[in-house]
Structure 1
């Protein structure tokens, strides 16, 4: 199943109309409107719905068939927030990643226009939808939503867009990042080479300009280049390298690999999502496989415009807290040490670990 997302406008109302009506017929209790409200609506009303100032309206297509929809609408009372509305996937296409793709697109759009938080409302008894939204990073907040006719309130859920805003900085400033990154391979390359034999197959998270992948290949390893920013992936492909877009927060990593290499990448993962990412790195390597990664040393988290001139979000770790979370994720032989270079005004940690071998 290959899903294509298309942005629609008022001129596309005839394509959007049957999907909206199908959603209202399939899930009558999930929306603020009803099928009766819209079934006989004139063209002008459909056009008006697709003309909300600053909004994003999407349809998801499987071939020629529209199988889902979603909209992002700026909050008129809070410029830092947008609302995810009109979210629906055809029953025959559920559990195939359509909802996640739509949500990801809305989140990327919101981050691109400077919005910090995405909000949605869901019926209190719709546990299936709530679990789906939780898997996509939404968290229920302790604020009542709109009052329902039976006296209950909708559940409000929000998703912090720090990862998307950080990724947007890389998308827009990939050339500047490449220009300001020196050609010397990271010390993490040597850490990995000491742990795996020549010929090992390595998944690189956050390949960026590709400097470290070249060093790993020169040493005899086979590297699968990935990055969350399409700008970097396009540049790598243009240079003749295989590369793919991979979102470390949501995508399956593939594998099995002999190692996962992540230099200055996991430092962008929000603390609540870090354990999940570590679990997926573990699943991506075969028994005995290796993790080699670097993060920033410190406490808490912060934004910085250093290097790119655009804000990027960083999560800081202490050696003990990093070792604990890596071990809890199932990794063994966890080793964490400070690897700050002399003269650097930023402090760094390196972690290496190994997936336990199968027993019995």
Structure 2
């Protein structure tokens, strides 16, 4: 589940939506999502991935959370990094298998992340984790990164919670976070900000940021 543009339309806030309902929605739309988010040649060198590449050593081992169709993992592996591809939706695991890629189903809320890794990538996925749960997920991510390792994150900016309605009527839970609050939570876990960029997407404002474990805060 990694892309700046997804096949979902904004709906009214609805706290009945949850991470579980979100995963159910993604189970039914892997092919549609993959087609919508397929990389375009002119946009292949994404700034966030370039910044990550600068922050890690050649051959570094990364954990990707929310790998989705695997487009970002492809880009990173083509540049010499080793990526453990994971997603919470079995449909994306199977989609990648059909492409000849190995991905694993991983519930980042309840299952251990393994590691230590040289870096963790979580682009456009953790907004689907319930607001009260995300700090503990961040703590697990920080613990899974070696000292000096990197964390690349893209998260929706804003206040509160909402639900978005997909093309097939599924609800997708979304938590919005102020930039300063996210940076403060991660700083408390020993992850210092190296680089950040905010942009307006179809669904609203996104914060993309790169952190280093043990960086001067």
When the two structures are superposed, what TM-score results if normalisation uses the length of structure 2?
0.83
Q: Is the 8 A contact 1:338 1:350 kept in 2?
A: yes
Q: 2:95 aligns with which of 235, 243, 248?
A: 235
| 3-state DSSP of counterpart to 1:164 | helix
Among 35, 38, 46, the residue aligned to 1:182: 38
Partner of residue 199 from structure 2, selected from 318, 340, 355: 340
8 A contact 1:303–1:311 mirrored in 2: yes
Equivalent in 129, 152, 173 of residue 292 of structure 1: 152
Unaligned stretches of 5+ residues in structure 2: 1-13
**Residue 77 of structure 2: which of 217, 220, 245 is its match?**
217
What SS does structure 1 have at the residue aligned with 2:104?
strand
Q: Measure, in 1, the Cα distance between the counterparts of 2:58 and 2:194.
A: 22
Q: Is the 8 A contact 2:31 2:95 kept in 1?
A: no
Aligned mates of 1:337, 1:301 — CA distance in 2: 23
Q: Which residue of 2 aligns with 1:272?
A: 132
Over alpha carbons, which structure has the higher Rg? 1
Q: After superposition, what is the alpha-carbon deviation per residue over 1:13-34, rounded to whole angstroms, capped at 9, x for unaligned?
A: xxxxxxxxxxxxxxxxxxxxxx
Query: Could you tell me which of 138, 141, 148 is aligned with 1:281?
Result: 141
1:111-159 deviation line (CA, Å, top 9, x unaligned): xxxxx99xxxxxxxxxxxxxxxxxxxxxxxxxxxxxxxxxxxxxxxxxx
**How far is the alpha carbon of 1:243 from its aligned partner?**
1.1
Unaligned residue ranges in structure 1 (runs of 5+): 1-115, 118-159
- Is 1:349 the counterpart of 2:182? The answer is no
Change (3 A) 1:224 1:305: same
Taking the aligned partners of 1:345 and 1:201, their CA distance within structure 2 comes to 31
Take 2:127 and 2:194, find their aligned partners in 1: how far apart are those partners? 17
SS of 2:208's equivalent in the other structure is: strand
Partners of 2:17 and 2:171 within 8 A in 1: no
Q: Secondary structure at 2:192's aligned position in 1? A: strand
The question of whether the paired residues in 2 share the 8 Å contact of 1:319 and 1:336 is answered with no
Shift of 1:348: 0.7
Report how far residue 308 of structure 1 moved: 6.0
- Distance apart, 1:310 and its partner CA: 2.3
Correspondence 1:251 to 2:111: yes
1:305 is paired with a residue whose SS is strand
- Provide the rounded CA distance (Å) in 2 between the counterparts of 1:241 and 1:293: 23
* Higher relative contact order (CA closer than 8 Å, sequence separation 6+): 2
1:70-93 CA-to-partner distances (Å, cap 9, x unmatched) read xxxxxxxxxxxxxxxxxxxxxxxx
Distance 1:204 1:267, change over 3 A: same
For residues 204 and 286 of structure 1, what CA distance do their matches in structure 2 show? 15
1: distance between equivalents of 2:195 and 2:19? 25
How far has the Cα of 1:191 moved from its partner?
Answer: 2.3
Structure 2 match to 1:327: 187
